[in-house]
Amino acid sequence: MPHVNSERGAALIGVLSAGAALGTAELVAAATGPNSSPITSVGGAAIDLAPVWLKDFAISTFGDYDKPVLLGGILVVLVVFAAVAGVVAARRFAAGAVMIGLIGAIGALAAVSRPDGSPLDALPSLAAILAGAAALHLLLTRRPAADGPGRRTFLVTGLGTAAYAVLGGTVGRILQQRSADIAQSRSAIRLPAPVSPAAARPSGHDFAIPGLTSFETPNRDFYRVDTALVIPELTAEEWRLRIHGMVDRPVELSFADLMAKPLIERDITLCCVSNEVGGPYTSTARWLGFPLAQLLREAGVRAGADQLVGTDHAGMTIGTPLDVVMDGREALLAIGMNGEPLLPANGFPVRQLVPGLYGYTSATKWLVDLELTTFDKYDAYWTERGWDPIGTVLTASRIDVPKPFAQVPAGPVTVAGVAWAQHRGISAVQFRIDGGEWRPAQISTEVSPDTWRQWRATVQLDKGLHRFEVRAADGRGDWQPEERTRPFPRGATGWHSVAVTVT
């Protein structure tokens, strides 16, 4: 341990004090809820306040690890700030204590500012302020003089504080989780047989090519892009859905009510607007659920309503154009996915999905509230941040085989991938090599206009560096544009390309 009267020793005291503060906060958050944790609250606020370019960068660079990277970055900043606070406190305790308290104050403000926040959510951060100040005072008052007595006492105190911080944080996080409750709730569900099963998938819908994305995405591999640092945990028994706003008859449903309705089963591809050209955030599943349009008709949609706002269990909102939901496409309140209840990461117990729209305007996970309103009256989360309010899926195609910068032997080379334009379907796929003429690719048998299609071709290649490009046409015959654009504000465009070396 560094000499406790040195700046390094004082910095360590600051870090230990902040650790004790956070450990205490996590323990208190076990009673007030995981979203009231200062780290989670500040992380959520950082996501909300981050500019669009930074969010796109995080998703494209870190993918599924964007949230751990964010939390790690917050912890790094916290450690540095706490170390400075320790140095300041060694010279003037009150000033250092205020700096430690500032950490808790920021956490409290972030917690109560959440969409579903309440004054009680500030308790973990307030407890952190008290614990941090107490630890700072205790450690500073037990500092021994250089080579003087008391070094052993201080060492024991410092190690005890570190142990408390780690144990408190770990136990608090464990107590916050309801994994056992959710697992028990899922395992008790017996999905009913659909009154309208999905059509049998035709022969030729899935090419058996190593490295090519399969038609159906396993549940645990389904892409996840959302703003939840902590996955909302809600059992099926607790779940309620409220339908209100511009309706004649407000409705409240339980999970049992939804299970008792005549459910339908459909294959639908979902994709995220944050997908760069060739990106991975597209997946397909067989969904079980109740038609959303039918449910809204039961509630009685009033004239003038043009937006359906879905709210999740944590208060996140997604606005969906109402005319799209009601135009005959099979928008669902889904409870099942590939033959089993939804996974928590995929929206358990109930999620919304609308074929042909990106997830940010259609696919509310952990859904608990639906409000009929207008775009003039309400801006949902992403619309408020400048994204297109409609969110129509653009035609896209991707090369899966060969992988970028792969080395392949000269001779026949297989090139393959997937293409999608949900609710319009894919009518053709073409590829070209080294900027030459476009060639037609074989496309898999269509399962539905609401799903993607695979494509493949075999070409003869000589040794050297070669570049593949791909483009697709939707069901109306419109080809995706060559011009590359970023995802903001309505989705990326451009042709995907892959460079390979033929040996």
User: Is 479:472 a contact under the CB 8 Å cutoff?
Assistant: yes
Residue 477 is encoded by which pair of tokens?
């015959």
pTM for this prediction: 0.85
Euclidean distance between CA atoms 485 and 498, whole angstroms: 18
Euclidean distance between CA atoms 154 and 256, whole angstroms: 59
Question: With bands split at pLDDT 50, 70 and 90, how would you rate the model's confidence at 147?
Answer: low
Question: With bands split at pLDDT 50, 70 and 90, how would you rate the model's confidence at 384?
Answer: very high
At residue 290, does pLDDT exceed 50?
Answer: yes
Lowest-pLDDT choice from 1-10, 16-25, 46-55, 353-362: 1-10
Lowest-pLDDT choice from 86-100, 282-296, 418-432, 462-476: 86-100
**Highest mean pLDDT, choosing among 111-115, 120-124, 195-199:** 195-199
Average pLDDT taken over every residue of the chain: 92
**pLDDT value of residue 149:** 60
- Dihedral sign, Cα of residue 328, residue 333, residue 335, residue 338: positive
Q: Which residues of 406-424 are buried (b: 16+ CB within 10 A; e: fewer)?
A: eebeeeebbbbbbbbbbbb
Whole-angstrom CA distances from 212 to 7, 123, 434, 454 are 57, 50, 22, 8
At residue 429, does pLDDT exceed 90?
Answer: yes
Extents of the domains making up the chain: 7-177, 219-384, 396-502
**pLDDT value of residue 336:** 98
Rg (C-alpha) for the chain, rounded Å, is 27
**Mean pLDDT throughout 117-143?**
91
* Residue in 280, 274, 282 with CA at minimum distance from that of residue 488: 274
Indicate the CATH number for domain 396-502.
Answer: 2.60.40.650
Architecture, CATH, for domain 219-384:
Alpha-Beta Complex (3.90)
Question: With bands split at pLDDT 50, 70 and 90, how would you rate the model's confidence at 66?
Answer: confident
pLDDT tens-digit readout, 480-502: 999 999 999 999 999 999 999 99
At residue 235, does pLDDT exceed 80?
Answer: yes
- Dihedral sign, Cα of residue 369, residue 373, residue 378, residue 380: positive
Q: Which residue has the higher pLDDT, 28 or 177?
A: 28
**pLDDT value of residue 173:** 83
**Mean pLDDT throughout 117-123?**
89
Euclidean distance between CA atoms 95 and 118, whole angstroms: 29
**pLDDT value of residue 1:** 44
At residue 186, does pLDDT exceed 60?
Answer: yes
**Mean pLDDT throughout 425-440?**
97
**Mean pLDDT throughout 306-311?**
98
Residue 205 is encoded by which pair of tokens?
């819908």
Which helix (H) or strand (E) is 86 found in, with range? helix 66-91
**Mean pLDDT throughout 71-98?**
91
pLDDT tens-digit readout, 339-382: 999 999 999 999 999 999 999 999 999 999 999 999 999 999 99
Q: How far is CA 347 from the centre of its chain?
A: 10
Whole-angstrom CA distances from 444 to 2, 326, 416, 419 are 66, 30, 11, 10
User: Is 497:467 a contact under the CB 8 Å cutoff?
Assistant: yes
pLDDT tens-digit readout, 213-224: 999 999 999 999
